[in-house]
């Protein structure tokens, strides 16, 4: 038997299988039954290594169900393996990394305690929404990025004079990194929210760069699609050509994909941190390199 086991959570089966092949680990599969009251019952099949286990499970919706399943898998792995690494390709709750308003609970801090409590000795996440989140962990933690894998995919497409665009200033560094590897220019839009009406306004000082070009909107995640839709509508008014979206985590909640396409996006390309139609970019090699 291999000295390493990859324990596949139900939310990350494809990625876990690919990772196990890459690192030549024994794959342990899980069968999950969710009862009508919401409880999860997990049954594992396969032998868990005494030396090292790697649990792979993304925490996307239903977030709390996937979270308890992740913790259960780590806990079981720790009963057998002396070392348990938790690979969380999409880390839910990472947007709750600080107290934005007085009284708010920093749920990421709770997760950090839970992961340690059940026996994980290291956490690996992919493009975690906020690096601040990892500061709450007292075990080893590492964030890896899917950008090089996304860029590799985009290099195979024939785009016309492409321009990389961040939908907001917060994503500027991400767009810059993408553009550097893609060898193109980039811009970051400015998103302003009216404090009274809540209305979002988009602008840019670089409108002149957009017309006639194919664009790649780069973001870490698409949740409801609101940010991408607003940016696309704005960019279409600036007479761009096609709009592509490159993102790591495509949650695509509430029919977001359909709405995004309706706004004029030609194609969404995302990583397999969350399985789905758009998740064509494999990050198993990037994760494998982070497991040392």
224 binds ligand R5P (CB under 6 A): yes
221 binds ligand R5P (CB under 6 A): yes
Give the shortest CB-174-to-ligand R5P separation in angstroms.
8
Sequence-ordered list of residues with C-beta below 8 angstroms from that of 97, at least 6 positions apart, any chain: 106, 108, 129, 130, 132, 133, 135, 136
Quick one: 149 or 257, whose CB is closer to ligand R5P?
257
3-state secondary structure of 189: coil
Catalytic annotation on 113?
no
- Enumerate long-range contacts of 22-29, CB under 8 Å, 24 or more apart: 22/284, 22/285, 22/288, 23/54, 23/288, 23/291, 25/49, 25/54, 26/1, 26/2, 28/53
Among 226, 264, 275, 276, binds ligand R5P (CB under 6 A): 226
Catalytic residue among 18, 191, 209, 230: 191
Choose one: 10-18, 35-43, 44-52, 222-230; the region binding ligand R5P (CB under 6 A).
222-230
Choose one: 42-50, 99-107, 223-231, 269-277; the region binding ligand R5P (CB under 6 A).
223-231
- C-alpha span between 221 and 120 (Å, rounded): 26
276 binds ligand R5P (CB under 6 A): no
Reduced 3-state DSSP string for 97-125: CCCCCCCCCCHHHHHHHHHHHHCCCEEEE
Among 225, 234, 272, 282, binds ligand R5P (CB under 6 A): 225
97 binds ligand R5P (CB under 6 A): no
Quick one: 6 or 175, whose CB is closer to ligand R5P?
175
Choose one: 38-46, 65-73, 224-232, 284-292; the region binding ligand R5P (CB under 6 A).
224-232
- C-alpha span between 220 and 212 (Å, rounded): 26
- C-alpha span between 87 and 7 (Å, rounded): 10
Quick one: 1 or 132, whose CB is closer to ligand R5P?
132
How far out from the chain centre does Cα 105 lie?
A: 23
Site for ligand R5P in 162-201 (CB under 6 A): 170-171
Catalytic residues: 191
């Amino acid at each position: 038997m291999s000295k390493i086991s990859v324990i596949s959570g139900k939310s990350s089966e494809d990625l876990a299988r690919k990772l196990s092949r890459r690192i030549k680990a024994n794959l342990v599969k899980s069968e999950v039954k969710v009862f009508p009251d919401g409880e999860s019952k997990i049954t594992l099949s396969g032998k868990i290594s005494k030396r090292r286990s790697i649990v792979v499970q993304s925490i996307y919706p239903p977030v709390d169900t996937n979270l308890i399943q992740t913790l259960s898998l780590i806990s079981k792995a720790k009963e057998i393996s002396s070392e348990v690494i938790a690979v969380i390709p999409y880390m839910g709750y990472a947007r709750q990394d600080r107290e934005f308003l007085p009284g708010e609970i920093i749920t990421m801090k709770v997760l950090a305690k839970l992961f340690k409590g059940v026996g994980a000795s290291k956490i690996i996440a992919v493009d975690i929404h906020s690096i601040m989140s990892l500061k709450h962990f007292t075990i080893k933690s590492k964030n890896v990025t899917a950008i090089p894998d996304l860029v590799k995919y985009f290099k195979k497409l024939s785009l016309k004079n492409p321009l990389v665009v961040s939908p907001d200033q917060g994503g500027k560094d991400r767009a810059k990194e993408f553009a550097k590897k893609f060898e193109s220019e980039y811009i970051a839009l400015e998103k302003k929210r009216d404090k009274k009406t809540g209305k979002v306004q988009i602008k840019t000082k670089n409108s002149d760069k957009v017309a006639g070009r194919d664009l790649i909107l780069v973001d870490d995640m698409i949740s409801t699609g609101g940010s991408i839709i607003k940016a696309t509508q704005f960019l279409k008014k600036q007479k761009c050509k096609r709009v592509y979206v490159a993102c790591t985590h495509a949650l695509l909640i509430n029919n977001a994909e359909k709405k995004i396409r309706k706004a004029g996006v030609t194609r969404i390309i995302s990583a397999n941190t969350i399985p789905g139609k758009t998740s064509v970019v494999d990050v198993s090699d990037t994760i494998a390199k982070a497991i040392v």
